[in-house]
Structure 1
Amino acid sequence: MAAVGPDHPMRVTVSQPTRRSSFTPCSRRGSYRRRMTKLLPALAAAAAALLAACTSDTDTPAGPKPRCDPELDAALAAWADAGFSGSVALAAGGEPVCEAGYGAADRASGRPNTADTVFAIGSVTKTFTAAAIFDLADQGLLAPDDRVGDLLPELGGPVRDATLLQLMLHTSGLNGAAGADHEPLSRDDALAAIGATEPAFAPGTGYLYTNAGYTLLALVVEEIAGTSYREHATTRILSGLPSAGFWDGSPGAVGERAIGYLDDGSTGESGDFAGPHWALDGNGGLAMSMPDLAAWTHALFTGGVVSAESTAAIAAPVVDLGDGAAETPGWVARDASAYGEPFLAAAGGGGDVGHDTMVVWIPSGERVIAVASNGGDVSGEELMAAIGPALVAGDPIPAPDAPGGTFDPEAAAAIVGDYRLDTGGTYRVTHDDGLRLAALGADAVEALFPPRDEAAADAVRTHERAVADLLAGETATGREELAALEDEFGPIDGAEPAGTVLAEGELRTYVTLATGDGPLLSWYALDDKGGVAAVEVGAEPPALTLVPDGDGFRPADPAGTGPDVTVTFTGDDLTVAGPDGATTARRN
């Protein structure tokens, strides 16, 4: 990572900077759901290793779309067999090295993912919006140090004093998003919502990842460019990318799209949301193929999108996030301390589309990797986390963690049912396409999803206290959330804790809301300032898919990121054994 000193013209000093967490931008699905998308810097680091296995002189079959090196292709295919479904594109020196698809773009029809399959890129959209701001700066129409309130006179609230650079670096003090992803949000309503947001800190004095800042940046583009944000993005920033466009609305991405699959197996938003789209524009609305994302990334960092001066500003680390990571406009820069090569990365996932996208730029050799997944047991980021360290070290690529045996479906009938703990919680065992174990109640969840260490346990306790404060109305955000809940579900008479899990890189604390229509299971993920980063009201209980392991079962966990537990069945008893001991429940 390049050194940044006090004389750096774009340096930002923050008090008590926080690492970007993995909370994933607001969207809604089912009765009530909002999500947030974040970069996972530690997981993104592993992606840099994938390019180490590919070089520009790799022998590939003839044709316009070169496949991966055979050994790498075989390794990725094994991961596809274990649950990775998506596309991979690698390039070096601006030339494609490896472009391939794995798994199904549509499970119902069997249509496969290919190199050209289109994916929603989520928060990677922010890299394009930052480029759009610098493009306007290159034209002399604005400057990164301009106050956003001077460019958007209708904007109210303390955020008026934030600069465009602070918005790009997540140091503006904004907290959260302007609205739920797939609910209509007009320009005026977006400005009003953001202006009314209570800041987490004064501009330039802290760090907090937020979607709302990039919504404002897109509004600035529309105000200054003399055309719509979407038109400017398409004609100036996405020019030359055949597939690139918006997931929802016009101009839309071109090409066959991957259907996204959510945690419960249902399909995600298909791209037919009519809008207006200001909840996503600027922060999460773009879509394209992975070869196009890789080509654009190379163009961006080699002067093909903005000027050399603006390219340097985009690549320059500014806000120290710790552990060798630093925020840049739209990206996170990583130094060489962990993997031997400095690089920049951006990622987007979660939400209600069901896609997970990551792109990495490695200046050495002008190498790019772009990966997207559309559901399954292994996301793109999880895949890179699993195989990256071995690739960097020159070791064989690890195979996915495969089940240790087979399970007779007829034997499932002997164990399906509800098992109750003496402390009140319940485990529910079902068998459809696989053996599933769901946990209901804080005691059941804690045993099935134990924290991996004391630091993780402390984080869980802190998060649970924050969620309790939120739903008790102890904060302004909590009072707003309670008002939103009561507007949709009527009076809320309490929130019973129901356990915390780590899922998709975020802590989710479950609660049972007491409504006039009965109990409603929900989960919340909060950011470091207590803001609602993600929520699902009317959620299914947390559950694991189990696979045979000796005389018992363990979670299906190809990437090795899940809970460290084993499950055994003896007569009418179900026992969950974890790092802190065993818990037994008896079938009702």
Structure 2
Amino acid sequence: MVPINLKYITKALIGTVLFFGTTVLKAESDSIQFYELKHLEQEVAPYLKKGFKGTIIVANNYGVIFHKSAGDAIQGQASYSTDTVVDLASVSKQFTAAAIMKLQQQGKVSPSASISEYIAGVPDDKRSITVHNLLTHTAGFKRHLGRDETPLNKDSFIASVMSLPLTYAVGEKYHYSNIGYGLLAYIVEAVSGDKFETYLFKNLLEPAGMFSTGFLRPDWSERTVPKVTRSYAGFSSPLEMLLSTKEDFWNLKGGGGMLSSASDMVKWHKALSDGKIISLDTQQLMYSPHVAENEEGYYYGYGWSIVPKEGEEPLVWHNGMSFFGKAEYWRLPRKGLMIFVASHEGDVEPWSIAHALYKQVK
């Protein structure tokens, strides 16, 4: 992937990025800001020197501003690139939330509705749980139902969740829960009549041109999926683990497990920015700081973590961590900027790189 190179600029081109040598010219409203590519290179350089293995990309609504990939995705066999398929882990939650909000736009789901509107046989202790509670981690569920690699079918998943005692009263507090996002995936299937991945593809991924994002639908045979040098539960990659479940991965579905590439995450950013798949008004609901997280200054929206900044645009972001890698996806929607960093192993934290780049472009 190469940076865009536009030749002309007018006042109407809000948010356009231009390249003159190494200088990025960005017009935003009536102000003009300059981003020196060398400064982005300088921010990343120390982490490359420390041995970062992974992919880094910075983009705006029109294309890629900066990218860098380093190290082997598969030791001695394949190097990283912006097309390398990485484990999104909990960054996947934004797609689950987007699917729910797409169903809202289609008039099929309401965030304020009880989950009993969409799930049969909800017991009394859970009937007050709303879709909003699931989206904001305030339903009262514990964090996990079972291990990612343990096969679990849909019927067993819902029966187990409905019989679980709640850890907290509904709405009492924020408590991060993959179980809640699994229930959201269940609701997507119940309401749409499609399998979760099928609904994601038809309504979000395909319209965005994201053909290298998903669980098992894409043909991964010609793509590089990183392999860890120390296997987890006998698996060296997230794809191996997904394949082993024979599609019964309800311990993971909704809350994590999606695979994607830096290139596709740029397409997702652009699709969100133009508001054609998820309306801009609906996105405002997703990016609202609905509930305080457990760390001061951090709030949770719908599938996104929100960090309000006094005098600045709030940071809209999410990270993910699994046994097969870490990912960071940071966005400034009003400025039209995004940062994506992913790595499958090593001592260099993707968060550190994302934060360094964020300080340069915010």
Bucket of the pairwise TM-score, normalised by the shorter protein = 0.7 to 0.9
Deviations 1:371-420 (Å, cap 9, x if unpaired)?
Answer: 111111102113334x3586479xxxxxxxxxxxxxxxxxxxxxxxxxxx
User: In structure 2, how many angstroms separate the alpha carbons of the residues matched to 1:116 and 1:73?
Assistant: 20
Identify which of 285, 296, 304 aligns with 1:313. Answer: 285
Match of 1:324 in 2: 297
User: In structure 1, how many angstroms separate the alpha carbons of the residues matched to 2:283 and 2:268?
Assistant: 13
Structure 1 segment 139-538 matched on structure 2, within 5 A: 139-156=106-123, 158-239=125-206, 240-246=209-215, 249-251=216-218, 255-261=223-229, 268-272=236-240, 273-275=243-245, 276-321=248-293, 323-337=296-310, 340-349=312-321, 351-352=322-323, 354-385=324-355, 387=356, 391=360
User: In structure 1, how many angstroms separate the alpha carbons of the residues matched to 2:21 and 2:340?
Assistant: 19
Which letter does structure 2 place at the counterpart of 1:211? N
In 2 relative to 1, CA 89–389 (structure 1 residues): closer, same or farther, beyond 3 Å?
A: closer
- Note if contact 2:54-2:342 (Cα within 8 Å) is conserved in structure 1: yes
Identify which of 32, 37, 51 aligns with 1:83. Answer: 51
Which letter does structure 2 place at the counterpart of 1:313? L
Q: What TM-score results when the alignment is normalised by the length of structure 2?
A: 0.82
User: In structure 1, how many angstroms separate the alpha carbons of the residues matched to 2:250 and 2:231?
Assistant: 26
- Note if contact 2:58-2:339 (Cα within 8 Å) is conserved in structure 1: yes
Deviation at 1:298, TM superposition (A): 3.4
Is 1:107 the equivalent of 2:102?
A: no
Give 4+ residue runs of structure 1 displaced > 6 Å after superposition: none
- Note if contact 1:244-1:292 (Cα within 8 Å) is conserved in structure 2: yes
Deviation at 1:258, TM superposition (A): 2.0
Which letter does structure 2 place at the counterpart of 1:87? T
Q: What TM-score results when the alignment is normalised by the length of structure 1?
A: 0.52
Identify which of 4, 14, 18 aligns with 1:57. Answer: 18
Which letter does structure 2 place at the counterpart of 1:97? I
Identify which of 90, 95, 108 aligns with 1:128. Answer: 95
Match of 2:4 in 1: none
Deviation at 1:55, TM superposition (A): 8.3
- What SS does the aligned partner of 2:18 have? coil
Which letter does structure 1 place at the counterpart of 2:262? M
Unaligned runs of 5+ in 1: 1-53, 62-67, 394-588
User: In structure 1, how many angstroms separate the alpha carbons of the residues matched to 2:121 and 2:62?
Assistant: 43
- Note if contact 2:339-2:354 (Cα within 8 Å) is conserved in structure 1: no
Match of 2:61 in 1: 93
- Note if contact 1:55-1:97 (Cα within 8 Å) is conserved in structure 2: no
- What SS does the aligned partner of 2:244 have? coil
Specify the structure having the higher radius of gyration (Cα): 1
Deviation at 1:75, TM superposition (A): 4.6
* Larger strand proportion of the pair: 1
- Note if contact 1:129-1:283 (Cα within 8 Å) is conserved in structure 2: yes
- Note if contact 1:152-1:223 (Cα within 8 Å) is conserved in structure 2: yes
Deviations 1:87-108 (Å, cap 9, x if unpaired)?
Answer: 1111113322123311111123
Identity of aligned residues (%): 26
User: In structure 2, how many angstroms separate the alpha carbons of the residues matched to 1:192 and 1:328?
Assistant: 28
Deviation at 1:270, TM superposition (A): 4.2
- Note if contact 2:17-2:62 (Cα within 8 Å) is conserved in structure 1: no
Unaligned runs of 5+ in 2: 1-14, 23-35
Asked which structure has the greater RCO (Cα within 8 Å, sep 6+), the reply is 2
* Larger helix proportion of the pair: 2
- What SS does the aligned partner of 1:245 have? coil
Deviation at 1:119, TM superposition (A): 0.3
User: In structure 2, how many angstroms separate the alpha carbons of the residues matched to 1:303 and 1:261?
Assistant: 41
- What SS does the aligned partner of 2:328 have? strand
User: In structure 2, how many angstroms separate the alpha carbons of the residues matched to 1:356 and 1:283?
Assistant: 15
Deviations 1:119-149 (Å, cap 9, x if unpaired)?
Answer: 0100011000000001111111121111112
Deviation at 1:180, TM superposition (A): 1.1
- Note if contact 1:262-1:375 (Cα within 8 Å) is conserved in structure 2: no
- Note if contact 2:153-2:250 (Cα within 8 Å) is conserved in structure 1: yes
Match of 1:493 in 2: none
Deviation at 1:187, TM superposition (A): 0.4
